[in-house]
Amino acid sequence: MNRTLYGVAAVTTALLAGATACSEPPKASLSAPPAAKTSATPSPAPKERGFTLVASGDVLPHASIIRQAKADAGGAGHDFRPMLAGARPVVEKADLAICHMETVYGPKEGPFSGYPSFVSPPEVAAALRATGYDSCSTASNHTLDAGAAGIRRTLGALDAAGIAHAGSARTAAESRTPAWLKAGTAKVAQLAYTYGTNGYPTPPGQPWAVNQTDRRKVIADAKAARKAGADVVVVSLHWGSEWQDAPDDVQLRLGRALTASTTGGRPDIDLILGTHAHVPQAYEKVNGTWIVYGMGDQVAGLMINYSGAHDMRGNQSSIGRFTFAPPKAPGRRWEVAKAEFLPQFFDPGTNRANDLTAEGAGHGDVRDRISKVVLSRGAADDGLVMGR
């Protein structure tokens, strides 16, 4: 697929306000494309091409997931590729694929930990790349679980794997730049923010280390990205209420405000991707822009909800797939010509991801439940369909 990363960086830090709670060749290059050679005869402008974007939910390696990755590696390091293999056929076919890396990484030799303070093996990054991901949001309530060192290790491992990232930063300069990506002929900017960090303060002298949600700042960053040349602006938000199928009032209010922001009649944000709730939530077209309130957990161990019970919803998710078409006229937005969702199930018995739209996938009851939730706010009326 033709996709090129323009850069790898996080976005500007935002203060909390206005919201509460390696088996295949790389598909992208971290270097900018070479400058075109000059010619006495100007070449005709290339025809613009659309692209497909897929996005998936939280990668949350609990202790059981780490043990499985160690077993899959034969005891030598950790191999997360087998558990993600079920998602690969969907992810690798997209022109642009975005994940959410909820946890931070430890040193290669460990130690590692699961809940409540997550420190994951850095081999996760290579597995994400092998699955086909091009960029990951890294702003979450667990971004500061291992302080500044955790951020450095995480972003360093993503860099080494060739994955762009947005949401956390090692330097102030890095925090001021979106993740720049190329898909089709579009220049895409990804921004990412979290509602909070579980009470962990930002490292001393590093208020920019993780982007915390502020409505005005998100809009300002989106406008800046557009001014810098973004054809499509994607905002990843770690938000919502855990274990709640429906989006909460904060999500609804913030979603309306962000999608209502325009410059010169053109929306400042083209797609919103939500994570954090642990369960799939609805998709909805608001002010002409698609919002995924929550994709659920793509990778997670068997989880316990607030009632103290094992809750299989914590292993259910959806992959969103959006086909963007070039503007119909100069100054217009890139339109989502097709919107799809693909129900997913991470089996905590086998620790393997399952695409529930694949032939013979089984778990029809889980697929139907995810579909009901995803379509619960009328998205089918705006054209959202289950993908294949």
Domain edges within the chain: 3-12+48-386
What is the spatial distance between Cα 26 and Cα 3, in angstroms, rounded to a whole number? 10
The confidence score (pLDDT) of residue 19 equals: 34
What pLDDT, on a 0 to 100 scale, did the predictor assign at position 47?
87
Q: What pLDDT was estimated at residue 5?
A: 46
d(CA 324, CA 259): 17
Helix, strand, coil percentages (3-state) for the chain, rounded to 5, are 25, 30, 50
Q: What is the pLDDT along the chain (388 residues), one digit of tens a residue?
A: 444 444 433 333 333 333 333 333 334 333 344 344 444 555 555 689 999 999 999 999 999 999 999 999 998 999 999 999 999 999 999 999 999 999 999 999 999 999 999 999 999 999 999 999 999 999 999 999 999 999 999 999 999 999 999 999 999 999 999 999 999 999 999 999 999 999 999 999 999 999 999 999 999 999 999 999 999 999 999 999 999 999 999 999 999 999 999 999 999 999 999 999 999 999 999 999 999 999 999 999 999 999 999 999 999 999 999 999 999 998 899 999 999 999 999 999 999 999 999 989 999 999 999 999 999 999 999 999 999 8
| Of 344, 340, 331, the residue nearest 380 (C-alpha) | 340
Instruction: Return all residues near 173 (Cβ < 8 A) that are at least 6 apart.
Output: none
Fold of 3-12+48-386: Purple Acid Phosphatase; chain A, domain 2 (3.60.21)
pLDDT at residue 331, rounded to an integer: 86
Indicate yes or no: pTM above 0.85. Answer: yes
Amino acid residing at 178: P
The reported pLDDT for the residue numbered 204 is 97
The answer to whether 225 and 269 have CB atoms below 8 angstroms apart is no
CB 168, CB 209: distance < 8 Å? yes
Question: Quick count: other Cβ atoms within 10 Å of Cβ 254?
Answer: 23
